[in-house]
Amino acid sequence: MLMLYPPITPYASGMLPLDALHQMYWEQCGRPDGQPVLYLHGGPGDGCAPASRQLFDPGFYRAVLFDQRGSGRSVPRGELRDNTTLHLVADIERLRVHLGIERWLVFGGSWGSTLALAYAQAHPQRVQGLILRGIFLGRQSEIDWFLHGMGQFYPEEWQRFVAPIPQDERQDLLQAYYRRLCDPDPAVHLPACRSWGRYEAACVAIRQRPEAIARASSEYVALSLARLEAHYFVNHIFLPEGQLLQQVERIRHLPAVIVQGRYDLVCPPVTACELAQHWPEAAFHLVEVAGHSLWEDGILSVLMQQLESFKHRVD
């Protein structure tokens, strides 16, 4: 198995003004004259972890990482105003121009795969290829699965998730949570954020990782993660139902890899299979004994192999 590269410090970073409200944190690692690759984090609302830098060979790649508006080190954190998929796509283009990059490889997992597809379909001429993991297309059936389906495999976590919601509000869990997550009172929104973050993190890997659960249910991560996920879910990810699948024709000419865990409970493999069927040119890797997390051995190994392979595929 190819392992992560050693910890690395960005050689450049900054805050990019997006509009009167939002500023976006960005950083670059590796070779300033290397092959540009864009890393898109999940969530929405999660932000980039320092370990994400270690995916990219610093002797070859010029890795660009950023925290999407409202996430991580971008400010204001957890902000829902002017925060839509189209805003995020435009932000990526603004960052590309700001950094003087002509075209780049796009790497995204979970919500990052959603955003990667939306960006590539909007700007195919700016993309050299895509590496996608844990596919999420934002359809209602996938959102419903997140709220109800994966709890069938972790019923104790689902019971913990619904416990803060009164019985008479549970017929619409999403709206019930959204009301609490948007409440200005921290005594209301913080417990809801932590509960949402824990539920997701508890289901993200085949074997629960206590450190991942602790991170996702911490105030810093949970505030933006839960608010923004619910915000995007309530608004059907701000795209017409099925658009990302319907517009695959726009990017079928691009080199692409789809990596999916067989036992992914957050984004079940049926979605990745549908994407692969619509995109037969894309290489499809269904990883056995793996769930949703990027950091599971099988998933990480395939992703590192694909990053190595793309050194010889991008033009």
**Which pLDDT score is estimated for 125?**
98
Check 110, 217, 224, 293 and give the catalytic one.
110
List, for the chain, all residue ranges whose pLDDT scores fall below the cut of 50: none
Q: Tell me which of 46, 71, 264, 293 is the catalytic residue.
A: 264
CATH number assigned to the domain covering 12-140+238-310: 3.40.50.1820
Chain-centre distance for alpha carbon 106:
12
Q: What is the pLDDT of residue 315?
A: 59
pTM equals 0.97
> What residue spans in the chain does CATH classification 3.40.50.1820 cover?
12-140+238-310
Task: Answer for the pair 95, 65: CB distance below 8 angstroms, yes or no.
Answer: no
144 is catalytic: no
Vertex 82: Cα angle to 79 and 87 (nearest 5): 115
- Told to judge if 264 belongs to the known catalytic residues of this protein, a careful annotator would answer yes
Enclosing H/E stretch for 39 = strand 35-40
User: What is the model's pLDDT at position 314?
Assistant: 63
